[in-house]
Amino acid sequence: MARKFPITTPLSNQYDVIVVGSGGGGLSTAVRAAHLGLSVLLLEKTDALGGTSAWSGGWLWIPRNPLAIRAGIHEDAEEPRRYICSEMQTDSLDPRLDAFLESGPEMVDFFETQTALNFVDGNAIPDFHELDGHALGSRSVAAAPFDGRQLGKWKHHVRPPLSVISLWGMGIASGADMRHFFNATRRLSSMMYVTKRLTRHALDLVRFGRSTQLVNGNALVGALLKSALDLNVRVQTNASVSTLIKDDQGRVTGVEVIINDQLHSISASKGVVMATGGFPHDTKRQAEQFKGNTGFGHYSAAPKSNTGDGINMAESIGAKICDDLANAGAWSPVSLVPNGKEQIHFPHLIERAKPGIIAVLPNGKRFTSEANSYHDFMRALFDASPADSQPYCWLLADHKAQRRWGLGWSKPFPFPTSYFERTGYLIKGKSLADLALKLGVPVDALTETVARFNCDAKIGFDSEFQRGESPYNHIQGDPEQTPNPSLAALEQGPFYAVKIVPGSLGTFSGVKTNEHGQVLRPDQSVISGLYAVGNDMSSIFGGHYPSGGITLGPAMTFGYRAANHLAE
């Protein structure tokens, strides 16, 4: 029987498995390996566990998952495969894709039935693109809310939600939870719901110094961490791995790690798993991998500790690094939030699709459907921007839309806009012409763009980019807005704008692996004893982005598969 609050065991110099990195890929590897009876050491170089996964929405793309089946949704195995082939425009798929489609449902079943992790379904969430084999739902699951109090002292080691998208450090889940917050000033039931959530959060801050209502990626990491501790995984924070140790035959047998300024050599009899989160803050590798205008001033929303450690160490012992992907990164629109001498990168994942908000280029013209996925939005911005300059655009809202949905870091009513204006983050104009002058955008072009959009919005059809027509666009809007949930005219001044610059949620290019997660050399031979999962592993979708959750889904599936292989 698991202890309620597991006690950290002394650090040994030998384990069966060493996992480097504590995101969804690393934690899932550790939990599965420990469940199979292996001794596991998990090393995290910062004080906070969870990496990018802790800041994510906690969604996993897992076609034919158990939650969909329980809901009576049965899908032929060939359908998701056809969708991936359509997305990648090929009939010859990476063997890892078939392994992913086969093992994904099994992975969800394992974590749901054997660990502290529970899921909620995404049966109403469609794939991003209307291609052959696409689905209108059933292929996604997300971590269910998790009570952080179950972690005891370890709750303080779960990376808190990203400050600029949380409410005083409290995460807000997508779906019903978020709808209640948007409707708190409009409906009594929502106001009562939000009051209850905020009261619990205030008590948490007094008692624990942080929220224990874990949702989204925080819930995923919290539940996985609880499962790892219950299985006696040795978790070590502030542990910076510097070197992979090899034997005379070239097999990886352990790591050198710096803990509290002391160098330790720790062996792994079965193998080492790299799960350090890719290279979103490795400027050297960005210069090598980001092509064209994607390389101008990149501002990733991933934690700044993700600096390519795993990829660099694997490459240093002969691993193949994939550099031929369709996209090297999971692109995301980002705005820069003032924070003293530094800036916090705000990922614009929600409000772009809401009625009353549009995006324009420096020339004052729209360039895509704002309700498209974050990745597609940025691809469109790259394509619409000169190849030799920094891409950027402006996200615009009228007063009604900003008060209803917020605009990036600037919160909706009842939060005042004055603070965000004083910091220079939110730019305000009494009229569209006034706003255009402040943005340096041609006045005539902007007023013409908004006038055209307003005419379309009133009849519910975007004649320029068909915003709100696709199932994904449709669900991202406001169901109460008619006739199109994604369209409303920008008419009520004052008008507001936030500058959008290129960013990412992580990287796709990484170490070449096989279907077990084993790292490969350029000649396709296996580097024995070395595995890579998560964003250290090169994308199984070749740098394409077919649906939400295509990072965490494969990360946890290949963590599960790597652990199975290590235990064989």
Tens-digit pLDDT profile for residues 123-145:
999 999 999 999 999 999 999 99
Contact 562, 517 (CB under 8 A): yes
Summarize the confidence of residues 2-29 as an average pLDDT: 83
Q: Are residues 252 and 348 in the same domain?
A: no
CA distances from 150 to 134, 212, 229 (A): 39, 9, 11
Q: Are residues 453 and 514 in the same domain?
A: no
Predicted confidence at residue 5, as pLDDT, reads 43
Separation between Cα atoms, residue 42 and residue 511, nearest integer Å: 20
Q: Are residues 412 and 454 in the same domain?
A: yes
Summarize the confidence of residues 397-410 as an average pLDDT: 97
Identify the domain boundary among 484, 504, 524. 504
Whether 221 is covered by a domain: the verdict is no
Summarize the confidence of residues 80-84 as an average pLDDT: 96
- Of 466, 462, 465, 377, nearest to 128 by C-alpha is 377
Whether the per-residue pLDDT at 6 is higher than 50: the answer is no
CA distances from 213 to 144, 148, 268 (A): 11, 6, 36
Query: Per-residue pLDDT tens for 270-284?
Result: 999 999 999 999 999
Whether 141 is covered by a domain: the verdict is yes
Whether 179 is covered by a domain: the verdict is yes
Q: Model pTM? A: 0.95
Query: Per-residue pLDDT tens for 240-251?
Result: 999 999 999 999
Separation between Cα atoms, residue 125 and residue 467, nearest integer Å: 17
Query: Per-residue pLDDT tens for 304-326?
Result: 999 999 999 999 999 999 999 99
Q: Are residues 338 and 318 in the same domain?
A: no
Whether 396 is covered by a domain: the verdict is yes
Full 3-state SS string of 267-283: EEEEEEEECCCCCCCCH
- Which helix (H) or strand (E) segment holds residue 361: the answer is none
Identify the domain boundary among 504, 523, 555. 504
Separation between Cα atoms, residue 505 and residue 338, nearest integer Å: 20
Query: Per-residue pLDDT tens for 476-490?
Result: 999 999 999 999 999
- Of 144, 147, 146, 123, nearest to 135 by C-alpha is 123
In CATH, what number is assigned to the domain containing residue 361? 3.90.700.10
Q: Are residues 97 and 138 in the same domain?
A: yes
Count of structural domains, the chain: 3
Q: Are residues 149 and 273 in the same domain?
A: no
Whether 6 is covered by a domain: the verdict is no
Q: How far apart are the first and last CA of the chain?
A: 25
What residues contact residue 195 under an 8 Å CB cut-off, 6+ apart?
none
Whether 300 is covered by a domain: the verdict is yes
Separation between Cα atoms, residue 392 and residue 384, nearest integer Å: 10
Q: Are residues 359 and 466 in the same domain?
A: yes
Q: Are residues 490 and 563 in the same domain?
A: no
Query: Per-residue pLDDT tens for 492-535?
Result: 999 999 999 999 999 999 999 999 999 999 999 999 999 999 99
- Of 523, 439, 455, nearest to 487 by C-alpha is 455
Q: Are residues 261 and 128 in the same domain?
A: no
Proportion of the chain above pLDDT 70, given as a percent = 99
Q: Are residues 345 and 310 in the same domain?
A: no
Separation between Cα atoms, residue 399 and residue 262, nearest integer Å: 56
Identify the domain boundary among 216, 243, 264. 216
In CATH, what number is assigned to the domain containing residue 295? 3.50.50.60
Whether 299 is covered by a domain: the verdict is yes
Q: Are residues 515 and 496 in the same domain?
A: no
Whether the per-residue pLDDT at 2 is higher than 50: the answer is no
Q: Are residues 108 and 186 in the same domain?
A: yes
Its domain, for residue 352, covers: 330-504
- Of 60, 49, 35, 52, nearest to 552 by C-alpha is 60
Whether 226 is covered by a domain: the verdict is no
Proportion of the chain above pLDDT 90, given as a percent = 93
Query: Per-residue pLDDT tens for 409-444?
Result: 999 999 999 999 999 999 999 999 999 999 999 999
Number of H helices, E strands in the chain: 17, 19
